[in-house]
Amino acid sequence: MKIKRGDMVQVLVGDDAGGAPRKVLSVVAGGLKVVVEGVNRVFKHVRRGHPKSPQGGRLSREMPIDISNVLLYCNACGRGVRVGFKYKPDGSKSRHCKKCQADLGTVSPPRARYAARS
């Protein structure tokens, strides 16, 4: 999966397009949608006596957006970039920026099958 919970992403489309990078709160629907902090906010009308809002009213919450509408943010490039995968010499799989080849974090633990033979 190219985008995980806690990653910083840049939104490409909609009212929140461009601007500062935002944090991914969760990945839903089998990795096809993401919930991004402060993006795609909607109001949910709640009746009086609801556990989350005993007085009733409107709750503001983020809704999922399609994962194709965001790009992972690279700190080295300072913008949203495409992501590639590669195996490190110890056999762990990591993500990297396609533009500047900066490491974007480890995806899986080391496995002997993919370790470099010497």
Domain extent, residue 43, equals 8-48+55-114
The string of pLDDT tens digits covering residues 18-68 is 889 999 999 998 889 999 999 999 998 888 887 877 888 888 999 999 999
Query: Which residue reads 């992403």 in tokens?
Result: 9
Does some domain include residue 96?
Answer: yes
b/e map of 77-104 (b: 16 or more CB within 10 Å)?
Answer: eeebbebeeebeeeeeeebbbeeeeeeb
Say what the pTM is.
0.82
Average pLDDT, rounded, for the chain: 90
Does some domain include residue 3?
Answer: no
Amino acid in position 49: G
% of the chain exceeding 90 in pLDDT:
65
> How high is the pLDDT of residue 118?
56
- CATH code of 70's domain: 2.30.30.30
Residue 99 has pLDDT above 80, yes or no: yes
Does some domain include residue 2?
Answer: no
Does some domain include residue 1?
Answer: no
Report how many domains make up the chain. 1
